[in-house]
Amino acid sequence: MKTPLRMPRAAVAALTVVALTACGSGSGSSSDGTVTLSFLMGNDQSTVDTTKALANAFTQANPKIKIKPEVIAGGSEGDNIVKTRLSTGDMADVFWYNPGSLLQALNPGQTMVDLTGDPVLKNVKKDYLPVVTQGGKVYGVPAAAAAGGGILYNRKVYERLGLKPPTTWAEFMANNDKVKAAGVTPVITTFKDTWTSQVMVLADYYNVQAAVPTFAQDYTAGKTKFATTPAAVAGFQHLAEIHAKGYMNKGFGSATNEQGLKMLIEGKGAHYAMLSLTLPPQLASYPQAATDVGFFGIPGNDPAKHGATVWEPPALYIAKTTKHLDEAKKFLAFVASPAGTAAVTKAVPPSGPYRVEGATLPANALQVAKDLQAYLDRRATTPALEFLSPVKGPSLEQITVAVGSGLTQPVDGAAQYDKDVAKQAKQLGLPGWG
Partner 1 sequence: MTVKVAKQAKQAADRQVTGEQAAGRPASRGGRRHGSYPYALYAPAAAVYLVIFLVPTVMAFYFSLTRWTLFDSTFVGLDNFRDFLSEQNLRIGFQNTIVYAVVTSGLKVVLGMGLGVLLTGSLRSRGFLRSVVFFPVLVSTVAVGITFSMLLKPDTGLVDRTLGLAGIDGRDWLGDATTALLSVALVDVWKGVGLATVIYIAGIVSIPRSYYEAVMVDGGSAWHRFRHVTLPLSWPATYSVIVLSFIGGLRTFDLIWTMTRGGPGFTSDTIASIIYKQYQAGFYGLSTAGNVLLFIVVTALVVPLTYVLGKRQVVL
Contact 100, 131 (CB under 8 A): yes
Task: Choose which of 27, 43, 111, 381 interacts with partner 1 (CB under 8 A).
Answer: 111
- Indicate which single residue of 35, 206, 398, 425 sits in contact with partner 1 (rule: CB under 8 A): 398
84 interacts with partner 1 by CB under 8 A:
yes
For position 19 contacting partner 1 by CB under 8 A, the verdict is no
Identify whether the C-beta of residue 46 lies closer than 8 Å to the C-beta of residue 280: yes
Least distance from C-beta 29 to partner 1, angstroms?
A: 29
Q: Which of 316, 328, 315, 318 is nearest to 36 (CA)?
A: 328
60 is a contact residue toward partner 1 (CB under 8 A): no
Whole-angstrom Cα distance, residue 374 to residue 68?
38
Rounded Cα distance between 62 and 327, Å, is 10
- The smaller minimum CB distance to partner 1, of residues 123 and 259, is found at 259
Yes or no: say if 428 and 105 are a contact pair by the CB < 8 Å rule. Answer: yes
Of 50, 35, 32, the C-alpha closest to 347 is: 50
Stretch that binds partner 1, among 107-115, 138-146, 304-312, 349-357 (CB under 8 A): 107-115
Helix, strand, coil shares, percent, the chain, to 5: 50, 15, 35
116 binds partner 1 (CB under 8 A): no
Alpha-helical regions (H) of 213-253: 215-220, 230-244
Q: Which residues contact 77 (CB under 8 A, 6 or more apart)?
A: 10, 14, 18
Smallest separation, CB 251 to partner 1 (Å): 3
User: If binding is defined by CB under 8 A, does position 416 make contact with partner 1?
Assistant: yes
The contact pattern for partner 1, residues 180-209, with x = CB under 8 A and - = no contact, is -----------xx-x---------------
Residue type, 48: V
Q: Are the beta carbons of 148 and 352 closer than 8 angstroms?
A: yes
CB nearer partner 1, residue 19 or residue 363: 19
What CA–CA distance (Å, rounded) separates 104 from 344?
27
Torsion of CA 112, 114, 115, 118, to 10 degrees: -140
**How far apart are the C-alpha atoms of 16 and 283, rounded to whole Å?**
25
Q: By C-beta, is 7 or 399 nearer to partner 1?
A: 399
Using CB under 8 A as the binding rule, whether residue 98 contacts partner 1 is answered as: no
Q: Looking at beta carbons only, is 329 or 392 nearer to partner 1?
A: 392
Query: Can you give the three-state secondary structure of 252-292, one letter per residue?
Result: HHHCCHHHHHHHHHHCCEEEEEEEHHHCHHHCCCCCCHHHH
Distance CA 202, CA 223 (A): 19
Taking the least distance from each CB to partner 1, the nearer of 59 and 80 is 80
Q: Which is nearer to partner 1, 16 or 116 (CB)?
A: 16
State the minimum distance, in angstroms, from the CB of residue 15 to partner 1: 6
Q: Hey, which residues between 251 and 270 contact partner 1 (CB under 8 A)?
A: 251-255
State yes or no: residue 223 binds partner 1 (CB under 8 A).
no
Given 1, 113, 200, 233, the residue binding partner 1 (CB under 8 A): 1
Q: What is the closest distance, in whole angstroms, from the C-beta atom of residue 254 to partner 1 in the complex?
A: 4
Site string for partner 1, 326-365 (x = CB under 8 A): ----------------------------------------
Give the burial class of 94: count Cβ atoms within 10 A of its Cβ; 0-12 exposed, 13-18 middle, 19 or more buried: buried
Using CB under 8 A, count the residues that bind partner 1: 41
Region binding partner 1 by CB under 8 A among candidate stretches 123-131, 168-176, 260-268, 395-403: 395-403
Instruction: Give the nearest distance from C-beta 291 to partner 1 in angstroms.
Output: 29
Q: How far is the CB of 290 from partner 1 (least distance, A)?
A: 28
Q: Which of 394, 409, 411, 433 binds partner 1 (CB under 8 A)?
A: 394
- Nearer CB in complex with partner 1: 122/419: 419
Count of C-beta atoms within a 10 Å radius of residue 377? 10
Q: How many angstroms separate the first and last alpha carbons of the chain?
A: 24
Q: How far is the CB of 306 from partner 1 (least distance, A)?
A: 31
- Paired sense of beta strands 147-154 and 293-296, if any: antiparallel
Residues that bind partner 1 (CB under 8 A): 1-2, 15, 76-77, 79-80, 83-84, 86-87, 105, 107, 110-111, 191-192, 194, 250-255, 394-395, 398-399, 401-402, 405, 407-408, 416, 419-420, 423-424, 426-427, 429
